[in-house]
Structure 1
């Protein structure tokens, strides 16, 4: 069994989360500058078997596409062409950034560390992946 890799895609940064090989636990992996995401993935996939990509799907409260979807669709297309053997699924990511920030507060994280947007992106990717695992 391979891992599942989730993305919280952003124009500047992309948060990544991954499962264990049994696909039971979602863990934050890292945050990568979006312009370097494909070189990161190429290196990562040399050492790890990934059987599924999960990409967050931002939606508005009325369930319509978010404006950021215009940036995510080209990313998904490039993901498909660059790694054609790995299927892609989408997961609703509404409120993940807010939930990530709230979880940082509840865990007692200091204000300085909570301002780290890269960490919020990584936690958001983990929440997206956890949502997928729970609904699987």
Structure 2
């Protein structure tokens, strides 16, 4: 089996999480500068089989798309062109940043460590991936 790869898109950083090959466990992988994402994904997919990209879908409380959806839509077009054989699914990502921050508190990270936005993005991607696995 191939891995599932989750993406928490941001204009500065992108959090990445992956499953194990059996698609049971979601784990944070890294955070990548947005400008470097395609290079990172090309390198990663050259060494690991990826079955599906899961991209966070930010929505407002009234279920309408958030302002960041414009940037994500452009990203999705290029992602699909760059990796035409890997399907893309969207996953509702409401509250993932808050859940990631709470996870950091629950894990005992101090205030300085909790200010690490890259770690928040990575944990958010993991939550997106875990949510998808749970709902399958």
TM range (shorter): over 0.9
Alpha-carbon distance in structure 2 between the residues aligned to 1:58 and 1:75: 14
Q: Once the two structures are superposed, what CA deviation does each residue of 1:16-44 show, in whole Å capped at 9, x if it has no partner? A: 00000000000000000000000000111
Matches within 5 A, 1:1-136: 1-136=1-136
Q: TM-score w.r.t. structure 1 length?
A: 0.99
Q: TM-score w.r.t. structure 2 length?
A: 0.99
Q: Gapped runs of 5+ residues in structure 2? A: none
| 3-state SS of paired residue (2:122) | helix
After the TM superposition, list the runs of 4 or more consecutive aligned residues in structure 1 that deviate by more than 4 angstroms.
Answer: none
Superposition RMSD in Å: 0.4
| 3-state SS of paired residue (1:21) | coil
Q: How many residue pairs align between the two structures? A: 136
Shift of 1:110: 1.1
Alpha-carbon distance in structure 2 between the residues aligned to 1:135 and 1:73: 24
